[in-house]
Amino acid sequence: MLIILDYGSQYSHLIARRVRECGIYSEVLDGHVSLDKVLEKKPTAIILSGGPSSVYEKDAPKCDKAILELGVPVLGVCYGMQMIADFSGAIVKHYSKREYGRTEISIDDFSDLFFGIDTKTTVWMSHGDSVEALPAGYVKLAHSENTPFVSIANKEKKIYGVQFHPEVSHSTMGMQIIRNFLFEICKLQKDWDMKDFIKQEIEDIRKVVGKEKVLLGLSGGVDSMTAAVLLHEAIGDQLICMFIDQGFMRKNEAEQIVATVNNHFNIHLIHVDAKERFFKAVKGVTDPEEKRKKIGNEFVRVFETEVAKVAKDVKFLAQGTLYPDIIESATTGVSKNAVKIKTHHNVGGLPDDIEFKIVEPFKKLFKDEVRRVGLELGMPEKIVFRHPFPGPGLAIRIIGEIDPERVRVLQEADDIVMDEIKKAGLYREVWQSFAVLLPIKTVGVMGDKRTYSHTIAVRAVSSQDAMTANWTHLPYDVLENISSRIINEIPEINRVVYDITSKPPSTIEWE
Ligand code: XMP
């Protein structure tokens, strides 16, 4: 296992994903963990991530210096490299010529880390500090116009540093540099693939669950659907799935979930039609947080009632939790991304008096790995590559009050957006695309008649993990088709606008 020590870079998880893409299992640990915790993992290599701090600040986070003496290869990325230089006695200084963004670097040493890389290559830089002089025992591997030491190495100890971010796709040969570190320098063997993962996970599930029954809440998203198929593969009829239809799904989506799980995979499904309860719960609610809370609470109540009906038979509750959800800070015990922007809800809470043991088959996986598991298990691409969908569903895409009629109008608009994005061959490229129903009415003219109707906002974003997102530059003809179809096919709408804000400063969903 390769360990990534995280010093707060927004790219630390991306490093873990890139390493795994190379066939090496990797985990992210908080940069403050003790040496013992690192040793417990028996790492075959260590990567020190980037971060916003400066090594000369009083409280700058640092790893135990002994990490450089373990005999385990180390790669420091950005702040990680500065930490290595600092530990090795070099001077790290704030530089007046700070580098940010795409930067051309020149390679001075092609023998290992930069093996097979062009003499000049573009990388993604983001630093204000620089190493001033080589630490003792180190050689220079690369430089740039403004930075004399873009990459350094102590080859004897197998300690390497890069001032840039090889994990970011803007670093054109970044993957090659990561592969060189893993295979040329660390001499690691590829041993992480989804076939092996599935085999191992099935064995583990059988061992843990024995002859007991397992309950899994289905949301229709790829994580819980894939968990259902994997668990079914492992324990067959011992798996019971529960799908609570809140009435806020996309057009025909509830029917599709039922058909896929029940008919296609032959999995035991409890389908709870709770539409009326949910519409009642959100009646008259316009505040986004209140809406989310009402839906979340209602979900818990319905879940409680339904679970109670089967609880005496069921000992385990399965969840499609992913690795990014469980990565916690060693110092605070809470996820670093835990600042509350919106109240999220997925499966909902559990009644106090029912105790389940939890099964989380994907707690070590990233989303793209779950998708690969899904494909290996023979799931249809339509489900495996489905865009993420929020727990409260269309309810948080109807700004203002929700009622069945508004849901129907939004379902129609959303369906047109989906359809046109798919027809244009953009569905897999776009992270999420959807329609939002706005509560304002505006004036229009149709067939010589004045209209006064609602507006649909179309949103499409590109993202790696939803933490940040760019609005997608959809081709004008796709936007044109979406707009004219919505106006022509939905009488309640007379205006369509396109959302051109990125996250931050906006969020992906409107509520
Ligand atoms: P925001 O709007 O916060 O959304 O930029 C980030 C990502 O999370 C999805 N999302 C949710 N997913 N339960 C979920 O499972 C929720 O309550 C929820 N709210 C937002 C959103 O669709 C985007 O992919």
Tell me the pLDDT of the chain (511 aa) as tens digits.
Answer: 999 999 988 888 889 999 999 999 999 999 999 999 999 999 999 999 999 889 988 889 999 999 999 999 999 999 999 999 999 988 888 877 778 888 999 999 999 999 999 999 999 998 888 898 999 999 999 999 989 999 999 999 999 999 999 998 889 999 999 999 999 999 999 999 999 999 999 999 999 999 999 999 998 889 999 999 999 999 999 999 999 999 999 999 999 999 889 888 899 999 999 999 999 999 999 999 999 999 989 988 898 889 889 878 899 999 888 887 765 444 444 444 334 555 555 544 455 555 789 899 999 898 889 999 999 999 989 899 999 999 899 999 999 999 999 999 999 999 999 999 999 999 999 999 999 999 999 999 988 899 999 999 999 999 877 878 899 999 999 999 999 999 999 999 999 999 999 988 899 999 9
Q: Whose CA is nearest to atom 9 of ligand 1?
A: 390
Burial label, 314 (beta-carbon count in 10 A; 0-12, 13-18, 19+): middle
The answer to whether residues 510 and 397 touch, using CB atoms and an 8 Å cutoff, is yes
The answer to whether residues 432 and 473 touch, using CB atoms and an 8 Å cutoff, is no
Return the closest-CA partner of residue 44 out of 151, 143, 190, 208: 190
Q: Which residues have CB under 6 Å of ligand 1?
A: 341-342, 344-346, 388, 390-392, 432, 466, 503, 507-509
Residue 48 Cα to ligand 1 middle (Å)? 30
Distance CA 75, CA 89 (A): 17
Residue 330: per-residue pLDDT:
41
Residue 393 Cα to ligand 1 middle (Å)? 9
Which of 13, 22, 63, 78 is catalytic? The answer is: 78
The answer to whether residues 158 and 149 touch, using CB atoms and an 8 Å cutoff, is no
- For ligand 1, pick from 219, 507, 509, 510 the residue to mutate: most ligand atoms within 8 Å of CB: 509
Residue 289 Cα to ligand 1 middle (Å)? 13
Return the closest-CA partner of residue 50 out of 129, 157, 114: 129
Q: Which atom of ligand 1 is nearest to the CA of 343?
A: 17
Q: Which atom of ligand 1 is nearest to the CA of 506?
A: 5
- Count the residues in the chain: 511
Helix-, strand-, coil-residue percentages of the chain, each rounded to 5: 35, 25, 40
Residue 465: per-residue pLDDT:
74
Distance CA 162, CA 472 (A): 31
78 in catalytic set:
yes
* Phi-psi sector, 82: left (phi>0), alpha (psi -120 to 50), beta: alpha
Using the 8-state DSSP alphabet, how is residue 386 labeled? P
165 in catalytic set:
yes
The helix (run of H) or strand (run of E) holding residue 425 is none
Strand partners for 74: 46, 159
Distance CA 385, CA 405 (A): 29
Residue 511 Cα to ligand 1 middle (Å)? 9
Residue 344 Cα to ligand 1 middle (Å)? 7
Residue 11: per-residue pLDDT:
86
Residue 388 Cα to ligand 1 middle (Å)? 8
Distance CA 239, CA 226 (A): 13
The answer to whether residues 82 and 129 touch, using CB atoms and an 8 Å cutoff, is yes
Residue 349: per-residue pLDDT:
47
Q: Whose CA is nearest to atom 6 of ligand 1?
A: 466
Q: Whose CA is nearest to atom 22 of ligand 1?
A: 390
Query: Rounded to two decimals, what is the model's pTM?
Result: 0.81
The helix (run of H) or strand (run of E) holding residue 293 is helix 288-310
Q: Which atom of ligand 1 is nearest to the CA of 396?
A: 19
Residue 354: per-residue pLDDT:
59
Q: Which atom of ligand 1 is nearest to the CA of 344?
A: 17
Please tell me whether residue 420 adopts helix, strand or coil conformation: helix
Which of 13, 22, 63, 167 is catalytic? The answer is: 167
Cα distances from 173 to residues 105, 167, 168, 315, in angstroms, run 11, 9, 10, 49
Residue 346 Cα to ligand 1 middle (Å)? 10
Q: Which atom of ligand 1 is nearest to the CA of 391?
A: 13
Q: Whose CA is nearest to atom 14 of ligand 1?
A: 390
The helix (run of H) or strand (run of E) holding residue 165 is none
Q: Which domains does the chain have, with CATH numbers?
A: 2-185 (3.40.50.880), 194-384 (3.40.50.620), 397-498 (3.30.300.10)
Which of 13, 127, 165, 387 is catalytic? The answer is: 165
First to last CA, the chain: 40
User: Which residues in 71-138 belong to E strands, given as ranges?
Assistant: 74-77, 92-107, 120-131
Strand partners for 92: 131
Residue 226: per-residue pLDDT:
96
